[in-house]
Amino acid sequence: MLHTLSIGELGKSLKSGQISSVELTRHFLSRIERLNPALNALTTLTAEQALAQAAAADARIAAGVQGPLLGIPLIHKDIFCTDGVRTSCGSRMLDNFIAPYDATVVARLKAAGAVMLGKANMDEFAMGSSNETSFYGPVRNPWDTAKVPGGSSGGSAAATAARLAPFATGTDTGGSIRQPAALTGVTGLKPTYGRVSRYGMIAFASSLDQAGVFAHSAADAALVLQVMAGFDPKDSTSVDTPVPDYPAALDGALDGLKIGLLREFFEGLEARNSALIHDALKIYRSLGATTVEVSLPHLPLSVPTYYVVAPAECSSNLSRFDGVRFGHRCENPADLMDLYKRSRGEGFGAEVKRRIMTGTYVLSAGYFDAYYLKAQKVRRLITDDFRAAFAQVDLLIGPTTPTPAFAIGAKIDDPVTMYLNDIYTIGANLAGLPGVSLPCGFVEGLPMGLQLIGPHFSEAKLLNAAHRFQESTDWHRRAPRGYD
């Protein structure tokens, strides 16, 4: 079945002429038409443009052009600006916004010949861990449609898990790629901060945001990261460091690889969840890795630190939405203040307003030192803990989430309970580290993920360790019933 093939296998079929990109695109478009209504994973479908892009890819293939993503369909999280196509960020504020340019991530994948099927639904302005805050309604988990897919990249995760596209882009600020990947049984990679350009990626928290990928395997993710990664002069935080050959590094032996078990991650973890990680460690040991326990004593402070830093940065970033130049404007504003307040009050949902106000508070006169400056200091303590750990080990391992997917509506009324879902993922964002979540088993019929975190710019090693695990297991090949 076309939707169960890897990107590598699809590429071979396209190159040999066995299938065309137009046929492949039609296959996924018809799956979207049939299967997406139950999931609500997409905000915008771009069927006509997709078929045009597919036809162009077929012409390039016929002319002898080669490329691993040439003619391969994808879905972009609706946080990436896509020229001429609505870019809503899951918000009423941008419901009418047609992006006038392509984000660098979009432009690079387009240049590589990937075919955009549409835009993925997401938590509003990337704020959420369940995809329940979207203006366009919640996304449902294909493994159990009464459950959340995770967030904020819930649409990208659900679409990948449901095989509506071979891969999807996402963003990860506090876990928004890794957590939904774990809850939907797919592979999700967050690169090092600065590895992938943020140009054209609507900003939530500028020192934390990073673009990444959802795919069915580390091997597929490596092909996509190869195209996405690299210095971009248009992003002032883009790092000018060479991009290694990720696919070439996948098959490396793991002999001598030192994996650290994060003690703080296992404290309080339910036995059946930690059992899955311990099973994974047995596999890693059989592949030649050694494991040792490490402690990051400040790691439990990650969540409160993040919920000062991220809201502060978001309050600043979202000040651009003022009803003046783009986005929602209220009707009949009485004066400028009324224009600002009502446009923003109407345009933003409750979680976004909560975070803007939290950020405004911690940055305000009299509170800046106690909250924001303090959080920046704790951020350094957490980052130093990671640095000390990486002096002893090559990679860190732990669960991605404390539990499998929870029911839609179960946590949305209590922000702090929702925030604690990110307990295992947030540390990597604060320290700017790369992390990958891979499927590692099931609890009560729902997928669980294991997370690998590496030092800065260690994506090749992470993908190598993930790939070798996936050669010894088949969790990543499982598909939800009805989507297989």
Partner 1 sequence: MSLTRQDVEKIAHLARLSITEQEMPVYVTSLSSIVNFVDELSRVQTDNVEPMAHPLDGQHQRLRADVVSESDHHEKYQANAPAVQAGLYVVPRVIE
DSSP-derived 3-state class of residue 315: helix
15 is catalytic: no
- Min separation Cβ 328 and partner 1, Å: 8
Interface with partner 1 by CB under 8 A: which range of 1-9, 177-185, 374-382, 444-452?
374-382
The β-bridge relationship of strands 258-262 and 211-215 is unpaired
316 is catalytic: no
Instruction: Please list the alpha-helical segments (H only) found in 321-398.
Output: 336-347, 350-363, 374-392
Contact positions with partner 1 (CB under 8 A) in 224-263: 233, 236-237, 239
- Min separation Cβ 255 and partner 1, Å: 30
236 is catalytic: no
Say how far apart CA 180 and CA 188 lie, in whole Å: 8
Among 337, 366, 391, 474, binds partner 1 (CB under 8 A): 337
- Min separation Cβ 33 and partner 1, Å: 29
- Min separation Cβ 372 and partner 1, Å: 9
C-alpha distances (whole Å) from 301 to each of 210, 267, 385, 394, 426 are 21, 14, 12, 23, 10
Site pattern 265..304 for partner 1 (x: CB under 8 A): ---------------------------------x--x-xx
Task: Write the CB contacts of 437 (distance below 8 Å, at least 6 apart in sequence).
Answer: 177, 178, 179, 181, 182, 187, 188, 400, 449, 450, 451
Longest dimension (CA), the chain: 70
Interface with partner 1 by CB under 8 A: which range of 1-9, 40-48, 93-101, 221-229?
93-101
Site pattern 94..133 for partner 1 (x: CB under 8 A): --xxx-x---------------------------------
Among 357, 388, 444, 481, binds partner 1 (CB under 8 A): 357
Say how far apart CA 425 and CA 177 lie, in whole Å: 9
Among 48, 255, 267, 335, binds partner 1 (CB under 8 A): 335
Contact positions with partner 1 (CB under 8 A) in 305-324: 305, 307-308, 315, 319, 322-324
Is the distance from CB of 121 to CB of 130 less than 8 angstroms? no
- Min separation Cβ 173 and partner 1, Å: 12
Order across the sheet with 73-77: list the strands. Answer: 42-45, 115-120, 73-77, 167-171, 211-215, 187-190, 435-443, 446-453, 395-399, 258-262, 290-294
Tokens for 30, please give them: 């018809």
Q: Which of 21, 88, 134, 176 is catalytic?
A: 176
129 φ/ψ sector (left φ>0, alpha ψ -120 to 50, else beta): alpha
Contact positions with partner 1 (CB under 8 A) in 411-430: 414-416, 419, 429-430
C-alpha distances (whole Å) from 2 to each of 65, 117, 187, 374, 473 are 22, 15, 19, 52, 22
Interface with partner 1 by CB under 8 A: which range of 2-10, 162-170, 280-288, 361-369?
361-369
Contact positions with partner 1 (CB under 8 A) in 182-221: 193-194, 207-208
Tokens for 334, please give them: 């009485």
Q: Which of 20, 88, 152, 343 is catalytic?
A: 152
- Min separation Cβ 44 and partner 1, Å: 15
Say how far apart CA 31 and CA 49 lie, in whole Å: 17
Query: Which active-site residues does the annotation give?
Result: 77, 152, 176
